[in-house]
Chains A and B, each alone.
Chain A
Amino acid sequence: MRQINPDVVAAYPITPATEIVQIFASYVADGLVDTEFVPVESEHSAMSACIGSAAAGGRVMTGTSSQGLALMAEMVFIAAGLRLPIVMADVNRTISSPINIHCDHSDTMMIKDSGWIQIFSENAQEGYDNMIQAVRIAEKALVPVIVTTDGFIISHGMERIEILDDAEVKNFVGTYKPENYLLNFDRKITVGAIDLTDYYFEHKRQQIEAMKDSKSIISEVGAEFGKKYGRSYGLLDAYKLDDADIAIVALGSTAGTAKVCVDNMRSKGIKAGLLKPRVFRPFPKDEIADVLKNIKAIAVMDRSDSMNAAEGPLCLEIKAALYDKGVKNILLNYVYGLGGREIGLGDLEKVYNDLAEAVKGKAKDKINYLGVRE
């Protein structure tokens, strides 16, 4: 965020995203950025200030987590509806109650239908790279972007990452030139006019189209980033999936653990693979179905539950994607890691073993709760 040097940052501290706000505030105090920092009284105000600043024509960023995102939710939808390219760092933390500060994906999933692009990061390096790309994606698509990192696992873990030069980031994000903005007195506009039965649907249809179009923008920006700095990004990250018989699908940091597990399984002669959807919004429906269609048994890992007395959110959408392609492979759902419950190699190994047994014809539960005490 220091290297991006946005015009405005409005944020309110919340564990485990506090350090984002705290450290950025010190950059402002030390004069390392030109940013107008707005220390607001709540997350609702934080997003409101972001919306006002973005509508005025600024490049705007914020950061939050969990309850903060919940309090912000009303304005999160408005930012997307007004098509303001705000970038948010969201540190995944569960939603109360019971009160808990640790990681799961309940907060991000809560606003999955808000109209924000959602990018999940596997580790600190991806979090860094994704934030830089998010600026470009948001401004091209006119869709706000959330970049998530798993609370504590990534946010409070120490990792070595490769940092780009300040000039490289400045060059990559470029100068923000909005087509329409409130402070342009030569071209006056009204933002957020009332839209009743006669226009609302058309504007929503435009928003839906923008989300569809964002897929190619995300891929282009990810490819350009790779060309310049050696780390390419797309909609998906498929790991040893081409010849795999069994595969896990997981978002965020769990994908990193799963890659190690895949290597362990492969050394035992088991053809295991991993699919990590990098973006959950837009949902890469066709792309996911294409890479999964030849996998005999798939386990979808959900770090949140939809409280629908059925599958978790990721599994439901993957099932829908496969249905349209006529794929009827074995598909198991594992809800895991709620409230920061640890997920280790042993847990994922158990999942791969379940899949291997399922391929051999052993009946398995469709929905499983991994790591919960019975």
Chain B
Amino acid sequence: MAAEKQEKPGWKKLTKCDLIIGGGTAKEFKTGGWRSKRPVLIPGKCINCLTCWMYCPDSAIIVKDGKVVGYNYDHCKGCGICWNECPVKGKAIEMVSEKEAKAKEKK
């Protein structure tokens, strides 16, 4: 997920004083490219205790109607905390190599 090459503003055009104007701008900063392993949900094993949702430092666990439905791969850094904290015997999350996951996506 290499960042797209884009023209960056020169010092005369740049916002003054190292300020970022506007709130919630971290959303636009995609950190998913840092990942070497990604969490993948094992269907049927998850008990929806939401422990992973509480622990995820990047708020990257997607929950709908009280159920874990997937992961926000734009922001998940692949730290594996969700996997580590998952209380289910044998884990309801699998950490898959990013390379393999991408190869599978292509198929």
Q: Give the interface of A toward B (CB within 8 A).
A: 81-83, 142, 180, 187-193, 195, 198-199, 201-203, 205-206, 209
Q: Does B103 contact A (CB under 8 A)?
A: no
**Contact assessment for A202 and B20 in the assembled complex, using a CB-CB cutoff below 8 Å:** no
> Looking at the complex, which one of B10, B11, B18 makes contact with A82 (CB distance below 8 Å)?
B18
Count how many chain B residues have C-beta atoms less than 8 Å from C-beta atoms of the other chain: 15
**Contact assessment for A81 and B21 in the assembled complex, using a CB-CB cutoff below 8 Å:** no
CB nearest to B14 among chain A residues: A202
Contacts of B18 in A (CB 8 A): 81-83, 191-193, 195, 199, 203
> Looking at the complex, which one of A191, A198, A205, A209 makes contact with B19 (CB distance below 8 Å)?
A191
Q: Would you give the shortest CB distance from B103 to chain A, in whole angstroms? A: 31
> Looking at the complex, which one of B8, B14, B21 makes contact with A180 (CB distance below 8 Å)?
B21
Q: What are 5 A-B residue pairs whose CB atoms fall within 8 Å in the complex?
A: A82-B18, A188-B23, A189-B22, A193-B20, A209-B11
Report how far A201 CA is from B11 CA in the complex, Å: 8
Q: Give the interface of B toward A (CB within 8 A).
A: 8-11, 14, 16-25
CB nearest to A180 among chain B residues: B19
Taking A187-B21, A203-B18 as known contacts, 4 extra A-B pairs with beta carbons closer than 8 A to each other, sorted by chain A number, are: A188-B24, A190-B19, A195-B18, A203-B14
Report how far A296 CA is from B10 CA in the complex, Å: 45
Report how far A180 CA is from B16 CA in the complex, Å: 10
**Contact assessment for B16 and A189 in the assembled complex, using a CB-CB cutoff below 8 Å:** no
Report how far A129 CA is from B18 CA in the complex, Å: 32
CB nearest to A194 among chain B residues: B18
**Contact assessment for B16 and A206 in the assembled complex, using a CB-CB cutoff below 8 Å:** yes
State whether A189 and B14 are in contact (beta carbons under 8 Å apart), knowing that A198-B8, A199-B8 are contacts in the complex: no
CB nearest to A198 among chain B residues: B8
Q: Is the interface of A mostly helix, strand, loop or mixed?
A: loop
Q: Would you give the shortest CB distance from B17 to chain A, in whole angstroms? A: 4
Q: Would you give the shortest CB distance from A100 to chain B, in whole angstroms? A: 38
> Looking at the complex, which one of B8, B11, B19 makes contact with A189 (CB distance below 8 Å)?
B19
CB nearest to B25 among chain A residues: A190
Q: Would you give the shortest CB distance from A51 to chain B, in whole angstroms? A: 12
10 tightest Cβ-Cβ pairs between the two chains A and B: A188-B23, A190-B20, A83-B17, A202-B11, A205-B11, A203-B18, A202-B14, A189-B19, A206-B11, A193-B20
Q: Would you give the shortest CB distance from A304 to chain B, in whole angstroms? A: 31
Report how far A186 CA is from B68 CA in the complex, Å: 35
Contacts of B24 in A (CB 8 A): 188
Report how far A206 CA is from B18 CA in the complex, Å: 9
Contacts of B16 in A (CB 8 A): 83, 142, 206
**Contact assessment for B21 and A142 in the assembled complex, using a CB-CB cutoff below 8 Å:** no
Report how far A192 CA is from B25 CA in the complex, Å: 14
**Contact assessment for A142 and B17 in the assembled complex, using a CB-CB cutoff below 8 Å:** yes
Contacts of A192 in B (CB 8 A): 18
CB nearest to A204 among chain B residues: B11
Q: Would you give the shortest CB distance from B8 to chain A, in whole angstroms? A: 6
Report how far A162 CA is from B9 CA in the complex, Å: 50
Contacts of B10 in A (CB 8 A): 202
Report how far A85 CA is from B16 CA in the complex, Å: 14
**Contact assessment for B17 and A82 in the assembled complex, using a CB-CB cutoff below 8 Å:** yes
Report how far A189 CA is from B10 CA in the complex, Å: 20
Report how far A83 CA is from B15 CA in the complex, Å: 12
Contacts of B11 in A (CB 8 A): 201-203, 205-206, 209
Report how far A188 CA is from B24 CA in the complex, Å: 9
Contacts of B22 in A (CB 8 A): 188-189
**Contact assessment for A199 and B19 in the assembled complex, using a CB-CB cutoff below 8 Å:** no
**Contact assessment for A206 and B14 in the assembled complex, using a CB-CB cutoff below 8 Å:** yes
Q: Would you give the shortest CB distance from A179 to chain B, in whole angstroms? A: 8
Report how far A201 CA is from B21 CA in the complex, Å: 19
CB nearest to B18 among chain A residues: A203
Report how far A195 CA is from B17 CA in the complex, Å: 11
